[in-house]
Amino acid sequence: MKLWMHRCLLLINVLIATGLLATAFLPYINPSKSWICGFAGFFFPVFGLLAVLSLIVHLIFYRGYAWIPFIALLASVPPFLASFAFHPFAAKTSGEPAAGQIRIMSFNCSSMGLKDYKIDEPQRNRILQMIRENPVDVLCLQEFYTNDDPTKSHHLDSIMKYGGFRYVYQTKDLTRWNTWHFGLALFSKYPILDTAKILTGAGPESENLLKARIRFGQETLTIFNTHLYSYSFDRSNYQTANSEQLHGIRGLIRKMKATFSGRVQQAMIVKENVHNSDGPTILCGDLNAIPNSFVYKSVKGDFQDAFLKKGFGWGTTFHTISPFLRIDYIFCNPGIRVQDFRVLHHLPFEHYPIITTIEL
């Protein structure tokens, strides 16, 4: 093989390996100190695929440089294991949970179909139908909206009816015109003993941290629900992310950069409260952070990721920008046994609902 071809192959392999290692490990650096680290993880699946293809091609046609993508892939196993679950035959239970088990759903409901302060009735009805067809004991909602005005949509009553819930708590993080309430909500079939809204300091229009203690048999289960600072993308941003508009992409990146420090601040408050909780503890929420990220690692700590325990694949929960984005989670402290995990991928929502069954 000619010298220039050797050099080209070497350069290509080095670039792919460097890209893979950078996107695997840079995200674990605090993005509020180095903003580029906040972007790196989004490209981890792409460089991983390139490295696999490079390894295969070299093993078939030219083994001289196969060791480069092989070593990069080997070094990237830990972040890959945080992103991909290996339980293809794990049972997906239906019907009522067994004795001693409790089923929990977490779902960013995108304001129940509210767009420009007008309800998308078909979308609202699809959400309510989903809740009816997938019964759970506890439902944690992010970006929840309800209205006390009798001429508007009172979603608290609707969800309690469709889901068979008896108890509810909402944070009302933002209220407009006295009756329009936005924020977090928790619905339960079991008694809620006490609740709290813990401020995360991200601004008046951001959601905070919901805490509820639930009586489950002889046990008390503490459930947290949160939604960390989002990128606040609008429809034009999503269109730009899937196009080649350079100017628009630059604007999208600037918007993403502005969110990093606020999200890290929220994550530290969530971490402190969740990991200092006594007894069985669950955290549900939309972290707006991928698994190989500083925010995910900080918030998860030594908790179990229910998806990694019983799920399979990439577990995509937000599909609008990329087919690999998992940003919605259910974490459990080590004493809890995770029985199953499901992502409802077949539903036409921006965020897919996630469901787990646990045993205390």
Tens digit of each residue's pLDDT (9 = 90 or more) over 190-205: 999 999 999 997 676 7
Contact between residue 285 and residue 211 where contact means Cβ atoms under 8 Å apart:
no
pLDDT of 237 reads: 43
Q: What is the tens place of the pLDDT at every residue in 65-78?
A: 889 999 999 999 99
- Residue scoring higher pLDDT (128 or 236): 128
Q: Tell me: do 178 and 284 sit in the same domain.
A: yes
Domain that holds residue 35: 1-82
What whole-number distance in Å separates Cα of residue 113 and Cα of residue 121? 7
- pLDDT tens for each residue of 165-185: 999 999 999 999 999 999 999
**Selection from 106, 178, 116 nearest residue 144 by Cα:** 106
Number of domains in the chain: 2
What CATH number did the domain enclosing 230 receive? 3.60.10.10
Last residue of a domain, one of 48, 82, 116: 82
For residue range 316-336, what is the model confidence (pLDDT) as tens digits?
999 877 788 999 999 999 999
Residues 213 and 316 in one domain: yes
Looking at the predicted structure, is the pLDDT value of residue 289 above 60? Answer: yes
**pLDDT number for residue 241:** 45
Task: Indicate if 123 and 195 belong to the same structural domain.
Answer: yes
pLDDT for position 247: 53
Half-sphere exposure of 133 toward its Cβ, with a 13 Å CA cutoff? 9
Q: Is residue 230 part of a domain?
A: yes
Answer yes or no: is 92 within a domain.
no
Kindly tell me the sign of the dihedral angle through the C-alpha atoms of 338, 343, 349, 350: positive
The answer on 129 and 22 residing in a single domain is no
Q: Over pLDDT 90: what percentage of the chain?
A: 73
pLDDT, position 250: 65
pLDDT surpasses 80 at 274? yes
> What pLDDT digit, counting tens, does each position of 75-98 carry?
999 999 999 999 988 877 767 888
Q: pLDDT, tens digit, for every residue of 248-266?
A: 566 666 767 778 888 999 9
Q: So what's the pLDDT on residue 260?
A: 85
Contacts of 298 (CB under 8 A, 6+ apart): 264, 267, 268, 271
Yes or no: say if 297 and 306 are a contact pair by the CB < 8 Å rule. no
Indicate the pTM of the whole model: 0.91
| CB 332, CB 338: distance < 8 Å | yes
